[in-house]
Amino acid sequence: MLTQSALDGLLRLSAEIGGNRLLVQASGGNTSIKLGDTLWIKASGKWLAFAGNDEILVPIQLSAARDCLRQGTPLDCAIRNAGGGNHLRPSIETLMHAVLPHAVVVHVHSVNAIAWAVRADAVARLAERLGGLRWQWVPYVPSGLPLARAVEAFAACDVFVLGNHGLVVCGGNCAETKALLDEVESRLAIQPRSAPESKPLRQVQNATGWWFPNCERLNSVATDAISRSIAKGGILYPCQAIFLGRTFSEFPCSTPRSPFWAFEGSGVLLSPSITKAEYAILEGFAEVLSRISPAAPLCYLTQAEIDAAMGAESFQYRSAPDNRSPLQLTQRFTRTATL
């Protein structure tokens, strides 16, 4: 009963976090809890928003996972049978969760945290806001073993801001962790720029079936000159490349498989085949861009870092069933005129 109660608490926390698009987009982010020698962690490709309604947790033998970290070996030997057969794969961030001593660990793709984490002056800016907390800046490293080893050196900290990635908050229980997350979010909060009014696109060559979103924030990717300039500069964080492509999708230079096209000064068009995950990531991307100052010195991912992020693991992640689900383009969108 104690184990089930603790897991229920984690699922409630996961659902609450997952329902906040400023904290989590699509299957991004992960949560975990340590119960004895078992680490329960969100499965790869699962959405925190579905916690409680869907099976999202994978049990891992904690001691074996830590052995895998020391030896640099795969996690396969640490995965436990949850009963009835568990087909889920643990998150790529499992080793990071395992190495931290805290009972509860929450990793989110906070749009506020990312807006700070892509800055070249992030350490100084964050120090002004996070003073008094046990926090640590972690320069960008790939997810998995490299990130776990980077975090391990500062395992006594409770808050980690991950360069070009997101935020990790830890605590002794779910309530404590959520309170700390709220505190950090309050300190890192950035007022987004006002979104310029979009202009519905009615005559666009060869775009039949594409949709115009009735959302000024989303359209600001194209209508806000600052956001558009930043987006054209490169890839700011891995999920941007994984779900939206390696380059900014401007019409008419976009590839046919782009989930969206941006039209300068007018707005965004969504592909008829856009998935729920791609749309959620695009929403988050717009929120991040709107929080970055035009004078901010930025650190984009290098080509090598992008290539590493787009490897086999990310392909499996993007191909998870929940991430392939199509977006229902209905009331929130307006179909473009006959083109």
Annotate 167-196 with DSSP letters as a single string: EEEEESSHHHHHHHHHHHHHHH--PPPPPP
Cα torsion 178, 194, 190, 261 to 10°: value is 70
Task: Give me the pLDDT at residue 83, please.
Answer: 44
Beta carbons of 260 and 244 less than 8 angstroms apart? yes
Q: How far apart are CA 260 and CA 272, in angstroms?
A: 9
Task: Give me the pLDDT at residue 338, please.
Answer: 36
Q: How far is CA 35 from the centre of its chain?
A: 26
Task: Give me the pLDDT at residue 337, please.
Answer: 38
Task: Give me the pLDDT at residue 328, please.
Answer: 80
Model confidence at 284, pLDDT cuts 50, 70, 90, reads very high
Task: Give me the pLDDT at residue 151, please.
Answer: 98
Task: Give me the pLDDT at residue 252, please.
Answer: 67
pLDDT at residue 84 greater than cutoff 80: no
Share of the chain above pLDDT 70, in %: 90
Amino acid in the structure at residue 164: N
Packing angle, helices 276-290 and 225-232, rounded to 10: 110
Model confidence at 313, pLDDT cuts 50, 70, 90, reads confident
Q: How far apart are CA 38 and CA 35, in angstroms?
A: 5
**Domains of the chain, CATH where assigned:** 2-188 (3.40.225.10), 211-335 (no CATH)
pLDDT digits (tens, 9 = 90+) for 189-224: 999 999 999 886 655 544 567 888 889 999 999 999
Cα torsion 232, 234, 236, 239 to 10°: value is 90
Model confidence at 250, pLDDT cuts 50, 70, 90, reads confident
Model confidence at 77, pLDDT cuts 50, 70, 90, reads confident
Q: Name which of 72, 51, 75 is nearest 61 in CA terms.
A: 75
Q: Name which of 182, 260, 200, 276 is nearest 228 in CA terms.
A: 260
Task: Give me the pLDDT at residue 332, please.
Answer: 57
Mean pLDDT of the chain: 90
Q: What is the pTM of this model?
A: 0.93
Over the Cα atoms of the chain, what is R_g? 20
If you average pLDDT over residues 97-121, what whole number do you get? Answer: 98
Q: How far is CA 53 from the centre of its chain?
A: 21
Task: Give me the pLDDT at residue 275, please.
Answer: 95
Q: Could you count the other beta carbons within 10 Å of the beta carbon of residue 82?
A: 14
Q: In what order do the strands lie in the sheet with 166-171?
A: 57-61, 38-42, 30-35, 104-108, 166-171, 159-162, 135-138
145 to 204, 265, 333: CA distances (angstroms) = 46, 42, 41
Cα torsion 198, 203, 206, 211 to 10°: value is 40
Model confidence at 162, pLDDT cuts 50, 70, 90, reads very high
